[in-house]
Amino acid sequence: MADGVTLIDPPSTFVDATVQVGMDTLLQPGVIVQGTTRIGVGCDIGPNAVIKDSIIGDECRIQGSIIEGSSLAHRVQVGPYCHLRPGTRLEEDVHIGNYVEVKETAVGRGTKVGHFSYLGDAEIGGWREHRSGYRYL
């Protein structure tokens, strides 16, 4: 808290000593952050989110979801009620809707995954650079 992180309800928020949290990040009640997790600046986490051994980019919004062994780029929105399993990689500006489960999947920049979805062992969406400019995959 002395480094600019806001905890709405410190007694209900659990952060391991190994976790790094960026300035201006808000941790709402019931949040649990464990392991080697790194959270960027300006994020809004919770309520009731559980994050373990993951990398969360800047300005991400995670609502009441479980994230394990995953990597989220900047401005990613997740949840509520999602489960990101190990090996999940979300690029910039990805939106993951309610009740989505993702496992061992790379989701490309700007992709939106609707509610009640499952993505497993895949690479979907986003933009790839091409010598003539960008094209959508």
pLDDT in tens, 42-83: 999 999 999 999 999 999 999 999 999 999 999 999 999 999
**In Å, how far are 8, 65, 135 from 44, measured between CA atoms?**
11, 12, 31
Residue 16: which of 31, 6, 28 has the closest Cα?
A: 31
Residues whose CB falls within 8 Å of the CB of residue 30, separated by 6 or more in sequence, listed in order: 9, 12, 13, 46, 47, 48, 49
Are 80 and 64 a contacting pair, CB within 8 Å? yes
CATH number at residue 102: 2.160.10.10
Summarised one tens digit per residue, pLDDT across range 11-47 is 999 999 999 999 999 999 999 999 999 999 999 999 9
Summarised one tens digit per residue, pLDDT across range 89-132 is 999 999 999 999 999 999 999 999 989 999 999 999 865 555 55
| 1 part of a folded domain | no
Could you tell me the residue range of the domain that residue 27 belongs to? 6-136
Give how many domains the chain has, as a whole number.
1
| 58 part of a folded domain | yes
Q: Active site includes 83? A: no
Residue 125: predicted pLDDT: 86
Whether residue 137 is predicted with pLDDT greater than 60 in this model: the reply is: no
| 13 part of a folded domain | yes
C-alpha 78/C-alpha 82 separation (Å) is 7
| 20 part of a folded domain | yes
Provide the whole-model pTM: 0.90
- 74, 83, 115, 130: the active-site residue: 115
